[in-house]
Structure 1
Amino acid sequence: MAAVNSVRRRRIRMRSLLRCSTGLACAASLVWAASSASAATKPDTSKQPHRVGHHPAQASGKNVPMKGAPSAVRHRPDHVESQGSEDVTVSISRHAREGGGGMMRVETAPHNVQTISKAYINMQSPTSTVLDLAKLSPSMNAINADSSGMQGGAIEIRSLTDLDMGLMLNGAPTTNANYINETADSEDVESVTVTPGSSSVDLPTTSAAAGVMDERTHTPDAKAGGMMDFSYGSNNLSREFVRLESGEIGNTGVRNYLSYSHTHARSWMGAGSNERHHIDYGLQKNWDNGSQNNFFMSWNYEDFTIDNYPTAAEFYDYKHTGNGYGRSAEPSNSNYWKNNIDHWNQLFISAPQHIVISRRVTFDLTPYFNLGRGWDGSPAGTSTAADGYVNYQGNAVAAGTPLTSYYQQNADTIVGATAKLGVDIDRHNHFFLGYWYENNDSTFSLPTSLTMANGANPSPNAQAYRLFTVGANGSLLPANTTIDGGYEIHSLFIGDTAKYLNDKLVVDAGFKYAMTNYWEKTNFNSGSGGVSGKSRLSENSTAPLPHLSIAYRFNDQHQIYVNAEGDFRQPDPTSLVGNSSGQLQKNQYSIKEEIGYRYNGPIVIADLSFFNYAITNRLLTTYVGANQTGLINAGNQTARGFDLQFSTHPWHHWAPFFGFEYLDAHMDSNVPYSYENAAGQTVNTYMHTKGKQAVMAPKVSASFNLAYDDSHFFGNVGIKYIGPQSVTMVGDERMPGFVSDSIAIGYHFRPFGFLKSPTFRLNFNNITGSIVRTLPKGIATNLNPTMLLDGTMSAAGSGAQFYVMPRFNMTGTVSTSF
């Protein structure tokens, strides 16, 4: 029996370090590139490290080091002037190393990297969540639940999910994909980097079997100003955004920004209204020796209608007859949208600190804090005489009275920090060691209240609607269950990056040892006579996590790499019990290998990687309704395949991108199954799942993006195909493949007055009007009765419930910087 736990799960996320280099050898050839780009609007390169794009003059593969450049310099100037008899000034766009309209970047890391940069982000609707921005990554099927960015969505990646990923924001853990819209506004996101199947030992994450998705937020501008935009679109969408920049304050090296957005929209399916308020704040302090202090904070508040997720039958009824499965506008209906509301506040803080102690020694400290509070309400049927409910005055509640049940998050808190000391031992080796600590505590309640007379759910704290039962001594006991689940992690890590053969050979080796204590405490009170009780479970675990990556660069254009890692995922603290016998859930452990080839040419960028996963104690999520999930241990699993990325640098303003993945994932174990026989005895047996295609593991996925930008007109066309996939463990229910599509078109007007970049753009999604399922909300063991290993037939299962692609929608946006 799957243990029920909240869908609000937190996973530690990862940050990626991007490196680049340059030299004077290509300076002359870049004069042409700089002059030809002078007609275009140049970005503020003070935000980015100096980067040099590939050019035919670099084909020799020679790099001439800059004379007199100190080895400790980390940020090079944006303009390079020769000291000889003539002056040559070179201006380099930060997009010079990008291809595919911002869908791919020149990389040298010894593992697969998929980066979406600002060139692509700026073409998308401001309502886009990070899932919208990353949806064309070849390794991921990233989907959204709605068309307005008010909710998050889900991810499947290499037969795993976002619960197996490190979802990071500026080096700190964020919420899971279902609520990832709470982290940052898209205008404040500089890049999204996906490293499928790979993480670094110095990152605060253990659950990274599927890799890491890392958001990087806006760097405060050096000059005072700001930007604003206004959007209007389908489903009564309206959105306003403004960001104010302080610029550098005096000569202190301090700069900061503050942004605010407000969004309102109605549900795309059925009745319902949604509203969101969001604030981002960023601060940066630069020091002359290369040290840097950063601070980022976001606050998110929203009320939105909890979606219905249809079964296959409900979906086909909608597709063939138009009968919607969404919420009702009728107050007397048990599916009334005002009795299905999510009310939530989220506060996120990260503060990465980089301290240069000397030319050889650095220290990095990244503290973070994440706090969520709020509640979900949903109908709980009507009261009966057997419930024994009374109101706060002790008066009995009449049978047939409508009730509302809640998931009330009293506190969902993550506090943690990573500390790392780095030392350049010699010219070949950079050594580091560090410590990571995190405390995660989630206290939530499951109260029941009276429904308001108008059919809406009241606040669970509203005294007039609270329900009680009468205790043995006549006292009133709240009709409530309170659960406190959490964990504490202590982790040590150590690593070394070695470079040899003129830095052509790079070896990254590291080891992390994680020690975790996690717990669940339950207090419950229910039923006639005020039956109450308590339970407590706890568990300690340790996990060795080795990492090894090797890369060899033949020249500036050709590179091969191999990567091997170990990762583990512990069960959510509120899902410690995995079956009716009370046995504790086991940790999921993964061993991964990857080998790849990368080509960084003057026109083409390409990356081909082959991967293999061996997963033990695969943890799968089931959906049980009302924003609640369960957890199943599916035994062992194997996944292998390859990823291909291909793009070009801009050619006559055009830049295509193509991504492809082949995945062969299958289950290696039969799943335990229990049933009650005719004699009333519990029989433990197994379902036939060994050798079946793994759930949520489409064999083929492909993505295509074609971008155009001539500095005035711009736009792109994005298409994604996801192949058929199994959604039950015995394979008796499948989801067919589907295609998603989007178009963006816009125009940059010339500056006038204080408006520096007036822009108008239109974004269209699902332009073909497809009615398709995009991802299971949660998998199931089976749909139909199936033969068990003991020769008996199982009962019919519930099957899966699904996300459905929102219907055709359009957003228009006007924006400008000032």
Structure 2
Amino acid sequence: MFLRHLTITLLAGTSLIATAVAQTAPNETANARAARNARAAAQQSAPPVQPHEAAQRRRDGAAQSGLTAAPTDFGRIDIREGGDGATPGGVTRQDIGGGYMIQEETPKTRSTVTRDAIDKLSPTANPYQMIEMLPGANVSSPDAAGLNGGNITIRGFNSDQIGMTVEGAPVNDSGSYALYPQEYVDGENISQVSLAQGAPDIDSPHIGSTGGVINVYMRDPSKTYGGLVKTTLGSYNKRRIFGRIETGDMNGLRGYVSFSRYHADHWAQPGQDDRTHIDTKWVYDISAGNRISASLIYNQAINNNYINPTLAQFHTLGFSPAYAGSLPSTFITGPDQSAGSAFNYYKMRINPFRNLIASAPSVFTITDKLTFDTVPYFWYGYGNGGGTSTLTENPIGTVSGPGTFWGNQRITGVDWFPNGIISSTNKGLLFNPSITETYRPGIINKLTYQLDDHKIIFGHWFERATHKQTAPYAYLTAAGEPVDPYGSGGIVVPAGQPGAGSLIQRRDTMTTTMSNTFFLGDTWSLFNDRLSIEYGLKQTFINRRVENFLPGATPVVTRNDTATLPQIGVRYRLTDEHSVFASINTTFRTTPNFALADAFSNTTGLKTTAANNTQSPEKAITFEVGHRYQGELINTSLSFFATQYRNRQVTTNTVDPSGGTALLTQSINAGRVNSYGVDFEIGTRPIYNFRPYLSAEYLRTRLMDNLPVTLAGGAQDYLPVAGKELPRAPRYQLGLGLDYDDGKFFANVRYKFYARQYSTFTNDQQIGPYGLMHAGFGYRFDDFLGVKKPEIKVNLYNLFDRRTLVGVNGVQTNALATRGVNGGIISGSAPTYYQGQGFAASLTMQVAF
């Protein structure tokens, strides 16, 4: 029953046409199963374990192809805290490449990082930093701790084109598809993070994933009562405490609750980060094949923002430019509170956010051939990115000249510079955060039926997300701080004007997105599972409604999209060690909500962005073919890929579609992109306690169409970008890692190199190649007085203090003035970049009981 249970693809938040893996396939022959089990046993050098635990341990060596619901797609993995050769942090010392590889079985490219690697990173590392070493992961981190997010691109696709799930629940922004990795699970509670570089699986719950998908899986609760306490101290006044308590098994029910608190000053002063986080997960094993699990993640953080400089600013100001640490006197004396760049005061540049993720992936065995998986989930988020606006006062009766506008309506009679006098010479500096509040309930249901050599799945994903986005104005204190960092309150329209009593806002929209996806798939296993064929079809229906409450805006814009997405993959096992695979996958990304809303200047009342509900979804088709070697000592994965991508969505200048010649921005179809390349990784099991790992990627991208633009006066032209490369798409990446662990002393070193990256579509600005090296070492003491393996470790970030830009933050079409195809001069704009932190160190001490 246990082996059969491992085949159940629980978390329908990901791929549901799971490969019938040899050791878990119900129809596998005894000889085939014995051969694979013998190979897996030979690969393990940990102390002897009980038979049922040995079966669990083999799962580190082979993952099912589906990114499934319940707790991980590798089957049920229980962290054996303090026993069976694992450390309290879950390190087995056996995982391939020091925890950067597993024996994948999926017929497409995928890479996975496990506890053996995660536990040795800094305790504050976010999922981007955890997978940075994997092939194709182009990660930009502005801080060592990972508390400020950063960015990731994979094969040229940006983070808002990549899907992400946590315990099966989708966590991309439901409107823009942005990712915020610092908000998710504490590292101590993450079991694995997998990266499918090419495409999501057939059941992945995403409507904005043209590229690949990242899946984060929480560890299961221990079956033994206990706990873990950890404290970290480090550079820049870094302080963190973490505690977790485990209930142990209580008649089939087990769970844990953890709490962490973090504070650090910014390396580019002034500024600081504060984070409070709670995780809990519970599992109820009803009987063999029947299981309910539930997790809850709560995060609250208030961070100051780092500056993302232009190239000119970086060269002029040098490394670590930061926001201002003091206010100019004119902030108090006026008449222009923004004079002297008061808006760059660091206490106004904040990012407060709180969010909650709940998920309950569960599986029920209906018959010996039919199982039912369900994943209800709920995501809530509320926060903003800080920022200010400078508003000019208009006495009542003003009808022209500079002023303050709510949509296209002039607002008069407001004392923006609160000195009791309303004068057209007064300008107030107001806290004006872009607030987002999201409610996102959903459910994924799936039936799996085993019919001889076929594993047939049928399922449905439903979600209704509401996404309220506002930008009210609020007075700052005399010290230049927001009264409420979350932006509550606001200033209303004075009596006697249209909309009197309404909040004056820079934006005010409500997006409702209804997603319905049906999927049907089959895994056909032949020749005792030597040959596995996966094929399936996903049909998605998206209804998006954007209500815009600003005066002058189009009040309601709707967009209905549908996508038919077939997938097929083949895996053939040549021998027990050698296998080949090939796949064709289709993906899509529906139009983001910001493209469906008009926007206005709050100083002129003119429209600055026009809604566009005619834009087709982005679509891509990805071809992959590869080979894997899975030996007793060495494991390799090599894959060749090619992607054809069309309807690329880009924001550019255009003429107001409602009439006139005024220029504004609009999201448009920028045409096609072709890309191809190679991904490779190799790792070993322990060799005299050493485990090396190497990953590499070669990537070529090519823009196939010139970019339509509109010049001043309304003339049409094209930016000559055909034949250029995508921004944020380095041609080469190389990762090198080496782990040593003898059970007591451990050490590791990691190096990641990136080739140059363009920051514009015309390829007229770039950052050069760079590489960063990180390291860590520590010691585990013997148990004493009921304390299990007390541990001390040191993490070293940017070992050689490399001062460099580490990624592109804001892509532009062109940095320099460029002559268009039709002869017009197209002005340029400066891209912005992420600064990388210099050397930093942290010391972590932990005890378990």
TM-score range, shorter chain: 0.7 to 0.9
Contact persistence 1:431–1:496 (CA under 8 A): yes
Q: Distance in 2 between matches of 1:43 and 1:226?
A: 23
Q: What amino acid maps onto 1:574 in structure 2?
A: F
Say yes or no: does 1:479 pair with 2:517.
no
- Aligned partners of 2:570 and 2:583 also within 8 Å: yes
1:699–1:238: structure 2 CA closer, same or farther, 3 Å change rule?
Answer: same
Map of 1:750 onto structure 2? 782
Whole-angstrom CA distance in 2 between matches of 1:731 and 1:159? 14
- Distance in structure 2 (CA, Å) of the matches to 1:403 and 1:54: 59
Where in structure 2 are the equivalents of 1:77-476 lying within 5 Å? 95=92, 98-175=95-172, 178-249=179-250, 251=251, 253-319=252-318, 322=319, 324-332=320-328, 333-381=342-390, 383-385=392-394, 386-387=403-404, 388=412, 390=414, 397=422, 399-409=425-435, 411-426=437-452, 428-459=453-484, 466=491, 468-469=493-494, 471-472=496-497, 475-476=500-501
- After superposition, the C-alpha distances for 1:372-419 in whole angstroms (9 at most, x for unaligned) are 012332122353433335259996655444422433435212111111
Report what 2:816 is aligned to: 784
Matched, 1:590 2:620: yes
- Indicate the residue corresponding to 2:601 in structure 1: none
Find the counterpart in structure 2 of residue 765 from structure 1. 797
Aligned counterpart, 2:841:
810
Q: State the one-letter code of the partner of 1:220.
A: P
Q: Secondary structure at the match of 2:287?
A: coil
2:557 paired with 1:521 = no
Distance across 2 between alignment mates of 1:464 and 1:506:
59
Superposed, which structure 2 residues align to 1:522-561 within 5 Å?
522-524=548-550, 535-561=555-581
Is 116-125 or 326-335 further displaced after alignment?
326-335
> Which residue of 2 is the match for residue 648 of structure 1?
684
Amino acid at match of 1:377: G
* Aligned 8 A contact 1:589 1:617 in 2: yes
Alignment partner of 1:131: what SS? Answer: helix
Cα separation, 2, equivalents of 1:356 and 1:783 = 59
Q: Distance in 2 between matches of 1:658 and 1:519?
A: 46
Quote the Cα distance in structure 1 between the aligned partners of 2:487 and 2:110. 50
Aligned pair partner of 1:675 in 691, 711, 717: 711
Q: Is residue 2:697 matched to residue 1:697?
A: no
Deviation at 1:294, TM superposition (A): 0.8
Look up the match of 1:599.
629
Provide Cα deviations, 1:410-454, integer angstroms capped at 9, x if missing partner: 52121111111111111x101111111111211011112222211
CA shift at 1:77, angstroms? 12
Deviation at 1:524, TM superposition (A): 1.7
Instruction: State how far apart, in whole Å, the 2-side matches of 1:720 and 1:263 are.
Output: 27
The Cα of 1:534 is off from its aligned counterpart by 5.4
Maintained 8 Å contact 2:46/2:94: no
Q: Which moved more, 1:405-414 or 1:101-110?
A: 405-414
The question of whether the paired residues in 2 share the 8 Å contact of 1:674 and 1:685 is answered with: yes
Q: Partners in 2 of 1:462 and 1:213 — Cα distance?
A: 32
2:829 is aligned to 798
Q: CA deviation at 1:521?
A: 1.2
Equivalence for 2:661: none
CA offsets, 1:260-287, max 9 Å, x none? 0000111221211221000001000113
Q: CA deviation at 1:335?
A: 1.3
CA–CA distance in structure 2, aligned partners of residues 131 and 384 of structure 1: 45
2:437·2:468 contact (CA, 8 Å) conserved in 1? yes
* 1:567 maps to 2:593: no
Contact 1:50–1:77 at 8 Å: present in 2 too?
no
1:734 maps to which of 763, 766, 771: 766
In structure 1, the partner of 2:23 is 21
1:309-333 deviation digits (Å, cap 9, x = unpaired): 10011112243xx5x4212210334
Q: Which runs of 5+ in 1 are unaligned?
A: 1-11, 56-73, 80-89, 526-531, 624-628
Which letter maps to 2:392? S
**In structure 2, do the counterparts of structure 1 residues 473 and 723 end up closer, same or farther at CA, with 3 Å as the change threshold?**
closer
Q: SS where residue 390 of structure 2 aligns?
A: strand
* 1:719–1:29 Cα change, 3 Å: closer
Q: Deviations over 1:326-385 (max 9, x none)?
A: 122103343111111222110101110111111100001011110001233212235343
Letter in 2 for 1:635: G
Return closer, same or farther for 1:26/1:165 CA change in 2, 3 Å cut-off: closer
Report the equivalent of 1:5: none
Could you tell which deviates more after superposition, 602-611 or 142-151?
Answer: 142-151
Gaps in structure 2 of 5+ consecutive residues: 1-11, 25-32, 63-74, 329-341, 395-402, 405-411, 599-607, 654-664
Tell me, what secondary structure is at the counterpart of 2:834?
strand
Return the offset for 1:695.
Answer: 1.5
Cα distance in structure 2, aligned partners of 1:790 and 1:27:
66
1:614 aligns with 2:644: yes
CA distance in 2, matches of 1:30, 1:390: 74
Change (3 A) 1:206 1:551: farther
TM-score (norm 2): 0.83
Task: Say what the alpha-carbon RMSD is for the aligned residues.
Answer: 3.2
Q: Distance in 1 between matches of 2:163 and 2:257?
A: 27
Distance in 1, matches of 2:50 and 2:413, equals: 64
Residues 11-50 of structure 1 mapped to structure 2, 5 A cutoff = 14=14, 21=23, 23-24=33-34, 37-38=46-47, 49-50=56-57
Amino acid at match of 2:544: Y
Residues of 2 paired with 1:742 and 1:211: CA distance? 26
Q: Distance in 2 between matches of 1:54 and 1:442?
A: 41
Q: Aligned residue pairs: how many?
A: 754
Once the two structures are TM-superposed, the CA of residue 54 in structure 1 deviates from its matched residue by 8.3
Q: Summarize the Cα distance change of 1:631–1:257 in structure 2 as closer, same or farther, 3 Å threshold.
A: farther
Contact 2:530 2:574 in 1 (8 A): yes
Write the distance in 2 (CA, Å) between the matches of 1:438 and 1:76: 29
Taking the aligned partners of 1:461 and 1:523, their CA distance within structure 2 comes to: 21
Separation in 2, partners of 1:650, 1:467: 66
- Secondary structure of the structure 1 residue equivalent to 2:679: strand
C-alpha deviation, 1:299, in angstroms: 0.5
CA distance in 2 between counterparts of 1:591 and 1:742 reads 36
Counterparts in 2 of 1:413 and 1:524: CA distance versus 1, 3 Å = same
The whole-number CA distance in structure 2 between the counterparts of 1:44 and 1:174 is 37
Amino acid at match of 1:563: S
Q: Secondary structure of the equivalent of 2:686?
A: coil
1:49 CA displacement: 2.5
Q: CA deviation at 1:685?
A: 1.7
Cα deviations by residue, 1:42-67 (Å, 9 ceiling, x for unpaired): 99996982417889xxxxxxxxxxxx
| Alpha-carbon spacing, 1:462–1:804, altered in 2? closer, same or farther (3 Å) | closer
Contact 2:363 2:374 in 1 (8 A): yes
CA contact (8 A) 2:61 2:104 kept: no
The separation in 2 between residues aligned to 1:657 and 1:184, in whole angstroms, is 26
SS at match of 2:467: strand
State the 1:619 CA deviation. Answer: 2.6
Counterpart amino acid of 1:760? I
Opposite residue 146 of structure 1, the aligned amino acid is D
The separation in 2 between residues aligned to 1:389 and 1:307, in whole angstroms, is 36
